Every structure is written in structure tokens, then in C-alpha cells.
A and B are shown apart, each in its own frame.
Chain A
Amino acid sequence: MKLHEYRSKQLFSQHGIPIPRGRVAMTAREAKLIAQELGGRVVIKAQVLVGGRGKAGGIRLVDSPEEAEEVATHVLGMQVKGLPVRRILVDEAATIKSEIYLSVTNDRNKQCPVIIASAEGGVDIEEVARTKPEKIVRVHVDPLLGMRQYQARQLAASIELSRECWQEFGNIVWGLYQTFVDTDATLAEINPLVISENNRLLAIDGKMIIDDNALFRRPELAEMRDLEEEKPAEREARRFGLSFVKLDGNIGCMVNGAGLAMATMDVIKLFGGEPANFLDIGGGAGADKVAAAFNLILKDEGVRAVLINIFGGITRCDEVARGILAALKEVEGTLPMVVRLVGTNEDQGRHMLRNANMVVATSLGDAAQKAIQLSTEGQST
């Protein structure tokens, strides 16, 4: 779960990391009042959960409360990569001498947290990793011991930070690591961490991702989920315990298991089709989940055909077929459907579906080709 910049910075601040004075506004009028409080020269920042806000014009420096109101009106009416801006952060403008990158994340290969720093802050860190990999330094942390103070000095020395900033930098690295641990984050990032003219450090932008699997013990963070930023279908899927990702194609997919769901998409593509979604209904395939899945797929107006691919391992294929038929009664609307059922009692399951006028396939390749054919037939009529 991604957190907004203002939420991330609040969490940083609670862990002793200096952030600019500022507040969130939902209207241009509020933005003007906040700018007045802060002395006029402020930065207006769109709060959306996608990158590239700056390039889209969602981050603007203004010199007066009046200008703040004018710019806020504009920013609050805009969209960044399709997401409407509902909130803006109004922050006191900082003086910037140089910019640092600092983050804590999980190193999957070394299986421990890693603290990453670079003197090349304020730009896309992946770009730095590609073009100047020597400018990025990493320190790994023993998850049982936690971060040690010397590790911050290692980072400071490696990015050639001036010595008078070491103390403050050390406190910030410490605070960021504690934020990472206390929130069960998978990413806690400050970019940039600016050094001002008088050598003070300030976290002017922040980003956090919280581990969804840990939200059960972080209820205060779970409440921060911004439901408005999610696609309605993905929100709906989560409610039913389905795993769903919307794509741009026209063949809806319903599969049990994440790996098989990905493989199904891949095979559709292999035969020249385009999958409309990733959808994992989980290990079994109860009628209620199948019905919810059908509804999700049918709501997508771009879908021309549906491919159902179920491997009946523990769950028998005749049970799955019964579930599909029961679910179809609950669903409004109809589309050409190809079903591939494999595993225990597959013949019985297929027979039941064939009697219900569904196109039945035996192999995945066969199913994909049939679904592609049905999807193009739908277009020509």
C-alpha cells in the first residue's frame, strides 16, 4: 500500500526527521490561508500516488498567497497520469544548496534491509542507477541487530557529505530506519533530502510503501489507504479476496492461482491476443468467488471474450463446473466464454459445461486460440 507524500512526511517527522512546515489543502482558499501563515513563498504539491508529478506540472513554486490560490485552483483541477488531484500539500519553500537521495528498502537477494544513499538526489534514482551506478552506495542491515550508528557514518563518508552535516545526517538515517521498521514498510524514501545554504538538512519529498501483509497489526496505517486512488475494479476485487489487475486487452481471464494466471495471459499473447486482466480467484473456486470474478470481468467494456482456466487439483473439476454454472445465474450480461478445466474429474466437469453451451477447450493453447477467435468475431458483428 502506497502512502501519500504528506502522510509519509508526517511519519518521518514523528521519527525526528526535519520536514518543511506545511499543511494539506483540499481547496484553493485553504491553500491561500496556509501560504499566508507560512509567509507567502510556498510550494504547491499535488498529492497523487504516481510518479512524474513534477513533469506533469503538479509541483509549483509560488511567491505570494494570491499566487498560491491561483495555482492551487489549477493544480486541484488537473489530472496526473489519469488520477484527479484531490489534495495538495502547501509547504514552505526551502533554500537548496544540494540534494541527497536516501532510502531504506528490502534487499531480496541478501534477504535483509538495505539503506541506499546517493549524492545525486532530486532525480529519478533508477536513472542514476543506470547512468552513474558508482554514485549509489548501499549498506545492509542485520535484521536481528537493527541499524548501527556507524553505518550512517559509512554512508555519509561514501557520498562525501561535508563533516559538519554528519551528526544531523546520522539522526535522519536512524529516524528513517526506525520509520521503516515501525511501519512494516517495504520502502521508506526521502528524495530529495536537501542541504540548505546554512548546511541544515530537510526532507522535502517522501514516499512510503507499506507491506500489505502487515496491515493487520498496523490498523492506524491501514486507515490511510486512499480508496479514491484505486481503480474501482481493483477495490472491488480486494473486497472479495480476489487478486485483480486491469490491463488493456479484450480477453477477460479468470484463473485459479497467480502463476497460472500469469501463464494464461502469456499464452494469450503468444497466440496474438491481448489479455484484459490478471485475475486470480485463489486455490479453490467457490460459486461466490466465481460470481464476483465474472462481475468484475463483465464490467470491463473492452472485454470481447472470456477465458476461464481452472486447474482442479484439490478441488474437483465437477465441483468447479457446478460453481461456474451457479455463478453464471447470478451474473447479468453475457459474453462468449471459453472454459478449460483440467485435473480431477475433468471429463465430468467439461460435459456439464458443454451442456450449458460453453466452448470447452482441453489445452491452454487451444483455449487461448478459441478465445482470440471469439473476441475478433465479436468485433466484426
Chain B
Amino acid sequence: MSILVDANTKLLVQGITGREGFFHTIRMVEYGSKIVAGVTPGKGGEWVHDGKIPVFDTVESAVEATGANASVIFVPARFAVDAMLEAADAGLPLCICITEGVPVQDMMRVRQYLDQHDVRLVGPNCPGILTPGECKAGIIPGHITQPGTIGLVSRSGTLTYEVLYALKQEDIGTSTCVGIGGDPINGTSFIDVLGMFQADPRTDKVVLIGEIGGQDEEIAAEYISNHMTKPVVAFIAGQTAPPGKRMGHAGAIVEGGSGLASEKIQALESAGVIVADQPEAIPSLL
């Protein structure tokens, strides 16, 4: 068991012939993920990766022909909304959007539509999902973690890698690692993933990596104190970030006195979560 993706996940890559899409498709295949199809409008009928992966014009035809059950999106930002809606309309239950730069108002409409269609969206602006030894759906480097019992959920990219790597140095592996993304409006929040980890028999403990902006961490803290029995260790980035400034991620901003790291840390600590003062301290706190 693991969450969201495993050895049976049949992935479809939207934007497979693009630079990023193609590069990461090969990395995913090398890791052992089952990539069954790609979609690029206008390139249906072609093949990539030495004739091993068929390309389709539409998600619907790709799903029909290959039985794909999850999609990873690499298309440029201005096409990402269409790509997410197309995946939903084709009946895919899971859609992972790596693309950064989707307008916020578009995301509000996408989220509303997807919720009505029972689709789980992870991202956008995220590194994707990795279940070590089984499936890499996105861009998280595969070799920096190993199979294990820690569930990891994060709003960040390289900071997540940093923590995975620090865990691996101590021979600690992960059940599944989920990057939910750094945008203000996204498909999956901390509490969605926390609930899955709580229910997953392979996961013993959870690491949560948050950052300034919004109230996702505060909501997670409330959820943890009400619903979780598994221990949670956290790190919150951005304690030194000045208010009113966007720190790289579209969602990482302290606005109107809300979204402060100190408030998030306080909320998590009152919920019984151990909060690390630096990312490298996480392995010793587990």
C-alpha cells in the first residue's frame, strides 16, 4: 500500500513532446513508472522513446486505447487550464499538474469544475508524487529516497528533496512523497494528504513541510489534533520573510498579517506536532 500512485498506476503525460515533458518522461520511465501514453494535440499517431510510447491528439482517445488512469501535465501555463479540464472530462481520477504560472482566477474555476467531477488534482506548480520503488509521477528525483514508512507532504520542491535526502542519509525511507505545490489555489491540500497517510497501513509517521502564506498549515494543525493518531513532524519555511513580499512561490506571501510562519508553528505545536527549527533536524525528530 501507498497513497495516490503505486506499481499499478498507468500514467499518461500531457505535453509529452515538449522539452520538459519529454525530458521527465524519460526520467520517469527509467525509474520504472508505467508510462502508457502521451498527448500532444496535432501529434497523434507519433511515437516517442524509441517507439515505446504512443502519442495521441486527445486525452479521451489516449485513455480509451491504453487504459491510462492518471495524468501528469507538463504543458506551458497558458494551456494548463485546458489540459486539466480535458483530463477531468476524459474521466481520469487523478491529475498531477507540474506546470507553474497558472492564473489564480483560472484555478478557482478549474477547482470548482474538478470538484464536481470527482477528480483528484495535485498541483499545479508542484514536483508531483513519488512512491519509492513503484511509481514516480512528476519530477521528484528518484534516487534521493528509498522505500520506507514515512509519509511526506510539502508545498515546496527543492526543500522537499533536501528533506528526502537528509532522511536517506539516516537510512530512513518514505512510503509516498506528495508535493502539493506552491500556488494560492491548488487541487489538493495538506489535510487531504494527511487523511490518506492516516489511513495508509504502510505509513507510520508523517513529515509536513509548509511555508508562509495562506492558512493551510493552521487547517492542517486542527485536522491533526482531531483526526490523526500517527505522529507528525513539521518544518515551516519563511520565518525571516518580510510581509507583503512574494517569496518565489505565488502563494508564499504574508498578507494583512495573515500567513505568518510564527502563527503556523504555534498552531502545529499546539496540535502536538514537533516542529523542526531547521530542515536537517527532521530525521532526528522522527
CB atoms of A112 and B256 under 8 A apart: no
A163 to chain B, nearest CB (A): 32
Stretch at the interface among B53-61, B89-97, B107-115: B107-115
Residues facing B in A241-288 (CB within 8 A) are 243, 245, 247, 255-263, 265-270, 275, 278, 280, 283
The smallest C-beta distance from A284 to any residue of chain B, in angstroms, reads 11
* A304–B195 CA distance with the chains assembled, in angstroms: 46
- Point out the residue from A111, A258, A260 that lies within 8 Å of B185, measured CB to CB: A111
Would A112 and B155 be within 8 Å (CB), given that A262-B252, A313-B141 are in contact?
Answer: no
Are A109 and B215 within 8 A (Cβ)? Answer: yes
Task: Name the contact of A263 in the complex, choosing from B109, B143, B278 (C-beta under 8 A).
Answer: B278
Interface residues of A in 286-338 (CB under 8 A from B): 311, 313-314
Are B184 and A106 neighbours in the complex by a CB distance under 8 Å? yes
Whether B141 pairs with A278 at a CB distance below 8 angstroms is no
In the complex the two chains form, what is the Cα distance from A278 to B212 in whole Å? 14
Interface string of B179-206 (1 = CB under 8 A from A): 0001011000000000000000000000
B92 to chain A, nearest CB (A): 20
A364-B278 in contact (CB<8A): yes
Of A108, A263, A342, the contact of B165 (CB 8 Å cutoff) = A342
- Residues of A close to B212: CB separation below 8 A: 262
B249 x A258 contact (CB < 8 A): yes
Interface check B123, CB cutoff 8 A: no
Determine whether the beta carbon of B247 is less than 8 Å from that of A184: no
Please choose the segment from A35-43, A191-199, A208-216 that sits at the chain B interface, where 4 or more of its residues have CB less than 8 A away: A208-216
CB pair A258 B109 closer than 8 Å = no
Interface 1/0 per residue, A201-224 and B, CB below 8 Å: 000000000011110110000000
Q: How many residues of B sit at the interface, in one of the four size bands?
A: 35 or more
Partner of A262, one of B78, B154, B247, B251: B247
Whether A311 pairs with B252 at a CB distance below 8 angstroms is no
**Residue pair B112, A142 in contact (C-beta under 8 Å):** yes
Main secondary structure of the interface of A (DSSP, over half): mixed
Partner of B144, one of A109, A262, A343: A343
Interface assignment of A344: CB less than 8 Å from any CB of chain B = yes
* Contact partners of A217 in chain B: CB under 8 A: 78, 103
Q: A143-B109, A247-B240 are in contact. Are A258 and B182 (CB under 8 A)?
A: yes
- Inter-chain contact B214/A108, CB cutoff 8 Å: yes
Check B162–A263 contact: CB distance below 8 A.
yes
Give the distance in Å from the alpha carbon of A313 to the alpha carbon of B215 in the complex: 29
Task: Among B27, B112, B156, point to the contact of A112 (Cβ < 8 A).
Answer: B112
Residue pair B161, A144 in contact (C-beta under 8 Å): no
- Asked if residues B104 and A262 are in contact (CB atoms below 8 Å), the reply is no
Query: Are A214 and B278 in contact, with the CB atoms below 8 A?
Result: no
| CB-defined contacts of B49 to chain A, threshold 8 Å | none
The answer to whether A243 touches B112 (Cβ under 8 A) is no
Q: Which of B109-156 contact A (CB under 8 A)?
A: 109, 111-113, 139-141, 143-144, 154-156
Q: Are B159 and A313 in contact (CB under 8 A)?
A: no
Contact A314 B141 (CB under 8 A): yes
12 contacts between A and B (CB under 8 A): A111-B108, A143-B109, A184-B103, A256-B158, A259-B211, A265-B240, A280-B248, A283-B158, A311-B161, A364-B279, A364-B280, A365-B280
Closest 5 interchain pairs by CB?
A: A259-B156, A258-B248, A257-B158, A259-B159, A214-B103
Instruction: Given A265-B238, A270-B278, output 8 extra A-B contacts at Cβ < 8 Å.
Output: A143-B109, A245-B241, A247-B242, A262-B212, A262-B237, A266-B237, A313-B140, A343-B144
Interface residues of A (CB under 8 A from B): 106, 108-109, 111-113, 125-126, 129-130, 142-144, 181, 184, 186, 211-214, 216-217, 243, 245, 247, 255-263, 265-270, 275, 278, 280, 283, 311, 313-314, 342-344, 363-365
